[in-house]
Amino acid sequence: MLPTLYTTVSITTSSSIRSFSSALTTSWFAVQGGKIRGPSLASLVRHIWIDPTSSTEQSDLVERNSRAWPVKILPQIFYFCSSLRALALMHLDGERSVWLESRVPASVEHFFLGPSHIHSFRLNGLATCKRDLRSITIYGKSRWMTAVPLDASAFHRFRQFVNPGIECRSNHMRTVFGYLRHWREMSSLHEIQIICCVEDVEAAAADLRCFAEDYQEDYQDQRVRLISQPSKWGGELDTLRSYYEDWRREITLQFN
């Protein structure tokens, strides 16, 4: 079993992205040049999270339309991490996310997106180009899932979050449940999760049940699961921490 220190990496600032890329490059050339024995650092990496792990952290990656993202360095990281299985990209906006789409490694099986850039990321391109992509988790709003081809056979699992960071949560919930009819037509899907992540878990469960009644025909599909999760950590509301902890649970569930 590979050590978690090397297999799972959380990168929380732009300087950390640059440092990680530099470390991977140095390790790879050292192995290729025979200076060190054994595998390179990059060959051990399986899971990467790029964003702060909590809303309380200071980071230059979370500002909307932030130019701090060293986006041209990410394909270099992806190139070296040839065994990457799970990738989380958060707070990446606009044209940079579209440019990065084709550079997501083909080895990635589980993809996590959100919360602000997902309107630009063309998930239909991922569905057709990444043969090994098994699941997508959306942390926030998503209008692109209806553009995923219905014959995208790679998709086995789709997870959509609704959280208190979105204005008019009820409107977002209604939109998400409205997508159910489209998702149900994707025969490749084995599981569809709608996850309400709010401070009061019981209230979240009640909201989910209410909307399930309104969309009863679609909800009756046995693949649909409604899940409520807490968004408070240490007594404080921390939606980003909730996303990060969900990511950690998912990679543990899928790869252990």
DSSP string, 200-213: -HHHHHHHHHHHHH
Q: What is the pTM of this model?
A: 0.87
- pLDDT tier, 37 (very low <50, low <70, confident <90, very high otherwise): confident
pLDDT tens digits for range 117-168: 445 555 555 555 555 678 888 887 655 555 555 555 667 888 888 865 555 5
Q: Which two tokens stand for residue 37?
A: 């024995």
Angle formed by the axes of helices 169-184 and 201-214, nearest 10°: 50
pLDDT of 245 > 60? The answer is yes
pLDDT tens digits for range 73-124: 999 999 999 899 999 988 876 566 666 777 888 888 898 887 654 455 555 5
User: What does R_g of the chain's alpha carbons equal in angstroms?
Assistant: 19
